[in-house]
Chain A
Amino acid sequence: MKINGISVKQPKPEIVVLPFNGGQLVIKARYVTVEELEELGKILSEPEPPSISKVVDGKQQPAQPDFTDKKYIEAMEAYHLRRMAWIYIKSLEATEGLEWDTVVMKDPTTWENWSKDLETTGLLNSYIIKISQLVADAQGWNPGRIEEATQNFLASLPVE
């Protein structure tokens, strides 16, 4: 598909260069595709709520999913944190030569170590935040960039 002659396909990786210990760290983050997210569903399943059958006026009601269950809510929070961690790791795969210390892709319990691994390298906290932003930008999660591009476009139009 093209829009105004521009092919609309997978976006290019986002890049940031961080000066570090006299050298440069080139960090790249790429867009994580829908297909990859579907693959994630095979190794990390979304928690299901318990079903609850309440008694109202002495009569037992049909069972309904209990989305307010405390353990279910905790499991959903943990699931979303782990899913988000996976997106960050997958996105940063675009960075050449990136090796994690404790993150193992086959082991979901290690995914949330991604930021800890970055910290243990000695990276400045501001750099880690920048890398997080880079991943978010690569996923199109930054509405500010869309707004900026829109404003730049509108500003470039001839004044009538």
Chain B
Amino acid sequence: MARIDLRNTTIKLQDGSSTPNTVEIGIGQGNLTWTENIEYEYLPDRGVLDDVVEGDEQPVAVDFQFKFDYLKSAAGAATPSVYEALHNIGNAAAWVSSDSDTCRPYSVDIVIENVPNCATGDDETYTFSDFRVESVNPDIGGAQVSASGRCNITRPTIVRTPKS
């Protein structure tokens, strides 16, 4: 996979409203990684490897650490912190869970827009739907945040758009 310069990306946390509430994170330094776990069950035939079947689906694990240059809200809304957006509190108290099933715990979508700083490369959008934070470590003084959690999907949605 090609390396993405995070200075050309915006990372948004986005809720499930029809006109989504967002907090856009301008990344100064940091990284986002994810892990897809794919399970297969190998069924030998009298001790010899033979059939393979898919095991249970596993959620995507997402981990990020950012030192941000700015936080930006959706138009007309107060800017929440990343922490507030992940927890549905403070300036993000009115956010609606991205999960369409309202009985499930609160989640947000993580949307990464990569706009390469060149004339030819395609723009890319990575969407990690229904991310639920499981560990968060904000550093208010350092304008940093790190968090990890899982998404209720087996892989992110990746859309490429040719530059117009």
Contact = CB atoms under 8 A, between A and B. Distances in A.
A55 B71 CA distance: 8
Given A58-B141, A58-B142, A63-B79, A52 B74 contact: no
A69 B79 CA distance: 14
A54 interface: yes
Interface residues of A, number: 18
Interface string B62-82: 000000111111111111000
Given A72-B75, A75-B75, A53 B142 contact: no
Question: Could you tell me the dominant secondary structure of chain B's interface residues?
Answer: loop
A153 to B, nearest CB: 48
A151 interface: no
A111 to B, nearest CB: 21
Interface string A44-65: 0001111111110011100100
Given A55-B28, A55-B143, A58-B141, A66 B72 contact: yes
Closest CB pairs A-B (n = 3): A48-B76, A55-B143, A63-B79
9 contacts: A48-B75, A48-B76, A50-B75, A51-B72, A51-B78, A55-B68, A55-B69, A66-B72, A69-B72
